[in-house]
Amino acid sequence: MSTPGVMATQVPPEFTVEINERKCVRCKRCTTECGFEALTYSREYDAIVADDAKCVACHRCVTMCPKHAIRVTDNSLAYKANANFSDIHRKNILKQAETGGILLTAMGCDRDYPVLWDHILIDACQVTNPSIDPLREPMELRTYIGRKPDCLEFDPDSDPLKLKTELAPNLKLDVPVVFGGMSYGSVSYPVHKSLMLAAERCGTFMNTGEGGLHRDFYRHKDHVIVQCASGRFGVHEEYLNAGAAIEIKIGQGAKPGIGGHLPGEKVSEDVSKTRMIPAGTDALSPAPHHDIYSIEDLSQLIYALKEATRYRKPVGVKVAAVHNIAAICSGIVRAGADYISIDGFRGGTGAAPRVIRDNVGIPIELALAAVDDRLRQEGIRNQTSLICGGGIRQSSDVIKAIALGADAVMIGTSALVALGCRVCQKCNTGKCSWGIATQNPRLTARLDPEEGAQRLTNLLNAWSHETQEVLGALGVNAIESLRGSRERLRGVGLDEKTLEILGIKPAGR
Amino acid sequence: MYKRDLEHIPSGCAISGILNRKGKRIDGRKIIKSIALMHDRSNGLGGGFAAYGIYPKYKDYYAFHVMIDDEESRNRFECYVNQHFTVEHDEKIPTAKVNGIHNPPILARYFVKVGEGKLEDAGIAEEDYVVRQVMHVNSNIPGAFISSSGKNMGGFKGVGYPEDIAKFFKLEDYNAYLWTSHGRFPTNTPGWWGGAHPMTLLDWSVVHNGEISSYGINKRYLEMFGYKMELMTDTEVIAYLFDLLVRRHKLPIRIATAALAPPFWKDIDAMPEPQRKAYTAIRSVYGGALMNGPFSILVGFTGGMIGLNDRIKLRPMIAAEKGDFMYMASEEAGIRVIEPEPEKVWAPKAGVPTIGLLDEGVEL
Ligand code: SF4
Ligand code: SF4
């Protein structure tokens, strides 16, 4: 097969950019704001000219234009109706006919598979039990992540109370939301810094992702989970000890079963140092860990990491939600994981083949319910904590996830949106106008870590308040009374089997 | 008559309890008077009593109080009980005809022992064996329900006002050192006697005013340890939680109650070490056992009684003492009517257990 030459594209632009000439004052700001170089100033016409084909609808120019002179709209060409061959299918075929390549994309699955969160409703108290006012009464969200014993033993003769049981190390979360793994390289330095500062202020954790931890950040270690992925980028003893917990990344919701790909353009000098790879080279992490071909191997790595950190830190495992997730997680618990992060198929990514992102894995709602059930049936639920993620968009998703059985949730996309991301799905290009998914210093300078931290802190505070409101309405004042309390959830418009898997009743019952 | 409430039924209620610390036994008149005074807190859809020390003659035998639908069910039950236990004695539970008490089931009691060799076969402790059989009968033997299963104690309950239930069971004829009682105000008709309080397991009995809003998770937590919630009531959950924490996990009572209604984190954080560590562990390990929502409960067991309120005291509870007697009730009037001049009367604090224990060395 010969490599195709460069062809003129037949794919029409996705968006249309219109500049209102009357409003525009020709300040040219938009031309520098656009990371994708879609806008230029034409001296000849004294006007801003848009190359629609380059626009990704990231809204940077729209947001920054002082005169609100820019409008980005869908380039909604009429296609002859066809319920089977949608315009998306036709465009994708054209792209592949032109390039012969895998379609690459970023962020989470954008197809309209049912979102089960939107088919679940929450209970509230009326008459027989009082609701509680979160403004007047304590409303506790504190959560501990890590292995717990089934029961405790106390010194019978000691007053004050003294514990005899040795406890495994746990992470203390003031809010049951952590920032999911996003690597330095896929996202920028100021993103990592914003996440870290916010985690510190909110009493939670950020996860380094698979690209190591910049030296500057070692001092924030009490709020960092360091990841160890198949590429082992940036993994050394000091790094392992630089976090509050270690997470072995087996898979990711957006691309279960395949490795990571950080294009060379994003491997800057700093990224190269942190990852311990040459600058400008593609960072490819292998699909499996080449030392983990079975569950016993996973156990060995878990204990190797525990040894390396003298059993002072919880070691977790991150997996993508795939069909057999319940059995897999049961194995992971038995292999010694102190917590499991389960990433649903809607989880985000910095780069993934579209075919995988949009077709592989299962929804987190079902995965979580199945895993929690299985671990309870086997009596090992206490031995591990469950963090779930993959499409968590709002506090109600958090609440429903916890009621289904999660100890905490992880957010990636939502955190980036708080920082300015418009989910344009072009992270893989390294051109992110918001300074998020790029290493271009001109672009990353746009994200002020202080402001970023504030925005993230605000988001988590807002979600905390909302969660407390719902707890109060449920008549409980501690998050552990919500956790796994599926009795307080009802399904609408769900078939019987789905309800059974979720372990909830239909509304009206 | 159907065996189970298929839905979880919320209810309000009255509770009362009397303990004599010296183990001196008194007849049922006082407890009846106390609960009857709080008549308006129940609506005639459930009343019941737990009495400890009532079967001195059979004190080493598990006393199974059984509700039976019909003769066929009786045969099924007796066949099972004979297979798994040695029945020392069985009899009809004496009852009287009372206006306002309708359609009682057949009520019988069996004094049983675990037969030789049974435990070796099952490889478990005797009490776990009993729990297993009680749960089996209650889930799988249609028409038969073991409503109490402790030694030297019994639960008496049914559909009706508590004072009528007392007359029906002739409780003035029983002598107990510990009485608890309950008047129920369910929000729909249970229509089934087993649904009334007390809920019991082994010698644990629970009478309960309120609703456990964390029922869903408490139930799933207990299921992990092999308990089966057949009744769909939150009160049953309480009895099983005490069984799990105190009997099986061997937690001292004050720690068990700290798991069920723990202090707030802000208070734990302010504790000195090693308490802080201990309470942090209790909350993080026993989160599934935390009982949330409005409740006041009285838990009876061979060694005494425990009163406990939810963490913000959303249901009433008053305690009092006079001499060797300790009283707890939903209303102070419920105590004063039987003990007009108590030496001490107090309102137990939210989440802090009031524990009344038999004096050490008391012979029962
Ligand atoms: S930023 Fe707005 S006003 Fe300035 S040149 Fe661009 S479109 Fe015109
Ligand atoms: S982070 Fe990715 S999806 Fe978000 S705006 Fe930047 S390029 Fe677009």
pLDDT tens, B203-239?
999 998 888 889 999 999 999 998 987 766 778 899 9
The Cα B215–Cα A403 span in angstroms is 12
- Contact indicator for A429, A36 with CB cutoff of 8 Å: yes
DSSP letter for A423, please: -
Q: What is the mean pLDDT of residues B150-173?
A: 94
Q: Which ligand is nearest to the CA of A434?
A: 2
Evaluate if residue B46 carries a pLDDT over 70: yes
Q: Half-sphere exposure of B142 toward its Cβ, with a 13 Å CA cutoff?
A: 3
- Partner residue opposite B266 with nearest CB, options A138, A149, A381: A138
pLDDT tens, position by position, A347-388? 999 999 999 999 999 999 999 999 999 999 999 999 999 999
Residue A450 identity (one-letter amino acid) = E
End-to-end CA distance of chain A: 61
Average predicted confidence (pLDDT) for chain A: 94
Does residue A426's CB lie within 6 angstroms of at least one atom of ligand 2? yes
Task: Please give the structure tokens belonging to residue B293.
Answer: 């929502």
Report the C-alpha gap between A142 and A479 in whole angstroms.
Answer: 7
The pLDDT value recorded for residue B193 is: 86
Do A156 and B283 count as a contact with CB atoms less than 8 A apart?
A: no
Cα–ligand 1 centroid distance for A45 (angstroms): 14
Q: Nearest chain A Cα to B12, which residue?
A: A128
Q: In this structure, is residue B276 part of a structural domain?
A: no
CA distance A249 to A231: 10
Q: Is A69 in the pocket of ligand 1 (CB under 6 A)?
A: yes
B78 within domain boundaries: yes
- With a 6 Å cutoff on the Cβ, whether A400 touches ligand 2 is no
From residue A507, how far is each of A151, A214, A502, B217 by CA, in Å? 36, 49, 13, 19
CA-proximal residue: ligand 2, atom 4 (nearest):
A421
**Among candidate residues A454, A428, A261, A258, the one with its CA nearest the CA of residue A360:** A258
For residue A283, the model assigns a pLDDT of 86
Query: Cα(B235)–Cα(A28) distance, rounded to whole angstroms?
Result: 71
Backbone angles phi, psi at B324, to 5 degrees: -85, 0
pLDDT, residue B5, reads: 43
Number of domains, chain B: 1
Nearest to B216 among A144, A149, A486 (CB): A486
A473 closest CA partner among A223, A197, A130? A130
Whether ligand 2 lies within 6 angstroms of the CB of A424 is answered as: yes
Residue B3's pLDDT is what?
45
CB A238 within 8 A of CB A497: no
CB B12 within 8 A of CB B209: yes
How many CB atoms are closer than 10 A to CB A175?
Answer: 19
**What does the DSSP assignment read for B82-144?**
HHHSEEEEEEEPP----TT-----EEEEEEEEPPTTHHHHHTS-HHHHHHHHHHHHHHHSTTE
Q: Order the strands of the B144-148 sheet from edge to edge.
A: B86-92, B106-113, B62-68, B144-148
User: Between chains, do A160 and B272 touch, taking CB under 8 Å as contact?
Assistant: yes
Burial class of residue A19 (count of CB atoms within 10 Å of its CB; 0-12, 13-18, 19+) = buried
Which pLDDT belongs to residue B191?
64
Q: Would you call B276 an interface residue with chain A, using a CB distance cutoff of 8 Å?
A: no
Which range scores top for mean pLDDT: A226-240, A282-296, A323-337? A323-337
Question: Alpha-carbon distance B295 to B312, whole Å?
Answer: 10
Looking at the DSSP bridge assignments, the partners of residue B328 are B17, B319
pLDDT tens, residue by residue, A23-60:
999 999 999 999 999 999 999 999 999 999 999 999 99
B250, closest residue in chain A (CA to CA): A153
Contact B26, B146 (CB under 8 A): no
Of ligand 2's listed atoms, the one at least distance from the Cα of A60 is 5
Active site residues of B: 13
CA triplet A20, A25, A29: central angle to 5 degrees? 95
State the CATH number of the domain containing residue B108. Answer: 3.60.20.10
Is residue A67 lining ligand 1, measured as CB closer than 6 Å? yes
Q: Confirm whether B166 is domain-assigned.
A: yes
**What's at B113, amino acid-wise?**
K
The partner residue sitting opposite B216, judged by closest CB among A137, A142, A488, is A488
| Domain locations in chain A as residue ranges | 15-101, 169-506
A447 within 8 A of A188, measured Cβ to Cβ: yes
CA separation for the pair A144, A141 (Å, rounded): 10
Measured in angstroms, the CA of B342 and the nearest CA of chain A are apart by 31
CA pair distance A389, A410, nearest whole angstrom? 5
What is residue A165's predicted lDDT score, i.e. its pLDDT? 93
Position B2 confidence tier, pLDDT thresholds 50, 70, 90:
very low
Using CA positions, which residue lies closest to atom 8 of ligand 1? A24
Confidence of residue B187 (pLDDT cuts 50, 70, 90): low
In B, minimum Cα distance to A484 occurs at B217
Nearest CA to ligand 2 atom 8: A424
Question: Which of B284, B312, B314, B315 has the highest number of chain A CBs within 10 A, making it the mutation to test binding with A?
Answer: B284
A125, A160, A486: residue with CB nearest B275: A160
* CA distances (Å), origin A78, targets A51, A81, A82: 21, 8, 11
SS3 call for A395? helix
Least confident interval from A498-502, B43-47, B245-249: B43-47
Beta-carbon count within 10 A of B7 CB = 11
| Burial grade of A427 (CB within 10 A; 0-12, 13-18, 19 or more) | buried
Of B213, B249, B250, the CB nearest to A474: B213
Q: How far apart are alpha carbons B256 and A101 in whole angstroms?
A: 63
**The predicted structure's pLDDT at residue B247:** 92
Q: How far is CA B267 from CA A161, B152, B296, in A?
A: 15, 40, 22
The answer to whether residue B189 scores a pLDDT higher than 60 is no
How many angstroms separate the CA atoms of A197 and A73, rounded? Answer: 36
Residue A146's closest chain B neighbor by CA? B284
| Distance, CA of A17 to CA of B301 (rounded, Å) | 77
**Model pTM score:** 0.92
Report whether residue A427 contacts ligand 2, using a CB cutoff of 6 Å: yes
A163 and B281: CB-CB below 8 Å? yes
Which residues in chain A are contacts of B281 at CB distance < 8 A? 152, 163, 165, 167
State how far the Cα of A250 lies from the Cα of A259, in Å rounded to an integer.
Answer: 9
Q: Which amino acid is at B267?
A: D
Question: Does the pLDDT at position A103 exceed 50?
Answer: yes
**Mean pLDDT in residue range A247-253:** 95
A243 Cα to the center of ligand 1, angstroms: 45
pLDDT attached to residue B188: 53
pLDDT, tens only, B87-143:
999 999 999 999 888 889 999 999 999 987 888 777 788 999 999 999 999 989 999
B309 shares contact with chain A (CB less than 8 Å):
no
Over its C-alpha atoms, chain A yields an Rg (Å, rounded) of 24
Q: What is the CATH number of domain A15-101?
A: 3.30.70.20
Instruction: Kindly state the DSSP code that residue B246 receives in the 8-state scheme.
Output: I
More confident residue, A47 or A135: A47
Q: Do A140 and B278 touch (CB under 8 A)?
A: no
- Among residues B283, B222, B229, B294, which one has the least CA distance to residue B257? B283
Q: What average pLDDT score do residues A340-348 get?
A: 97
Q: How far is A344 from chain B (nearest CA, A)?
A: 24
Q: How does pLDDT run across A233-245, given as a tens digit for each residue?
A: 889 888 999 999 9
CB A428 within 8 A of CB A106: yes
- Best mutation site among A182, A187, A426, A447 for ligand 2, i.e. most ligand atoms within 8 A of its Cβ? A426
Contacts of A476 in chain B (CB under 8 A): 213-214, 292-293
Q: Which of B217, B242, B295 to mutate to test the interface with A (most CBs of A within 10 A)?
A: B217
Q: How far apart are CA B58 and CA B46, in angstroms?
A: 28
- In short, whether A422's Cβ falls inside 6 Å of ligand 2 is yes
Q: Does B266 touch chain A (CB under 8 A)?
A: yes
From CA B156, how far away is CA B164, in angstroms rounded?
12
Q: Is the Cβ pair B285, A149 closer than 8 Å?
A: yes
Residues of B in contact with A165 (CB under 8 A): 281
Q: Is B134 an interface residue toward A (CB < 8 Å)?
A: no
**CATH of region A169-506, choose from 3.20.20.70, 3.40.50.150, 3.30.70.2340, 3.40.50.720:** 3.20.20.70
Q: Is A28 in the pocket of ligand 1 (CB under 6 A)?
A: yes
Answer for the pair A244, A263: CB distance below 8 angstroms, yes or no. Answer: no
Closest ligand 1 atom to A67 CA: 3
The mean pLDDT value for A319-326 works out to 97
Q: Which of these ranges, A181-190, A269-278, B9-18, B74-83, has the smallest mean pLDDT?
A: B9-18
SS3 sequence, A366-379?
HHHHHHHHHHHHCC
Q: What is the number of the ligand closest to the CA of A182? A: 2
Q: Do A142 and A170 contact (CB within 8 A), yes or no?
A: no
| A182–chain B nearest CA distance, Å | 28
**Chain B CA closest to residue A381:** B224
Using an 8 Å Cβ cutoff, are B42 and B207 in contact?
no
Mean local confidence (pLDDT), B330-348: 93
A169-200 pLDDT, tens per residue?
Answer: 999 999 999 999 999 999 999 999 999 999 99
- Model confidence at B4, pLDDT cuts 50, 70, 90, reads very low
Does the C-beta of A34 come closer than 6 Å to ligand 1? no
Which residues of chain A does B284 touch, with a Cβ-Cβ cutoff of 8 Å? 144, 148, 170
The CA distances from residue A98 to A93, A263, A353, in Å, are: 9, 21, 17
Strand order in the sheet with B11-20: B153-158, B47-52, B178-186, B11-20, B325-329, B318-322, B344-346
Are A501 and A366 in contact by the 8 Å Cβ rule? The answer is yes
SS3 content of chain A, % helix, strand, coil (to 5): 35, 15, 50
Q: Which of residues 56-115 of B touch A (CB under 8 A)?
A: none
Tell whether B362 is covered by a domain.
no
Q: Which domain holds residue B206?
A: 10-249+293-357
Mutate to test the pocket of ligand 1, among A29, A42, A43 (most ligand atoms within 8 A of CB): A29
Nearest CA distance, B25 vs chain A (angstrom)? 31
Question: pLDDT at position B6, please?
Answer: 43
A477/B311 Cβ within 8 A: yes
**Atom number in ligand 2 closest to CA A423:** 3
Q: What is the pLDDT, as a whole number, of residue B1?
A: 36
- Ligand 1 within 6 A of A29 CB? yes
Q: What is the pLDDT of residue A4?
A: 52
- What is the least distance, in Å, from the CA of B61 to any CA of chain A? 30
> pLDDT grade, residue A1 (50/70/90)?
very low
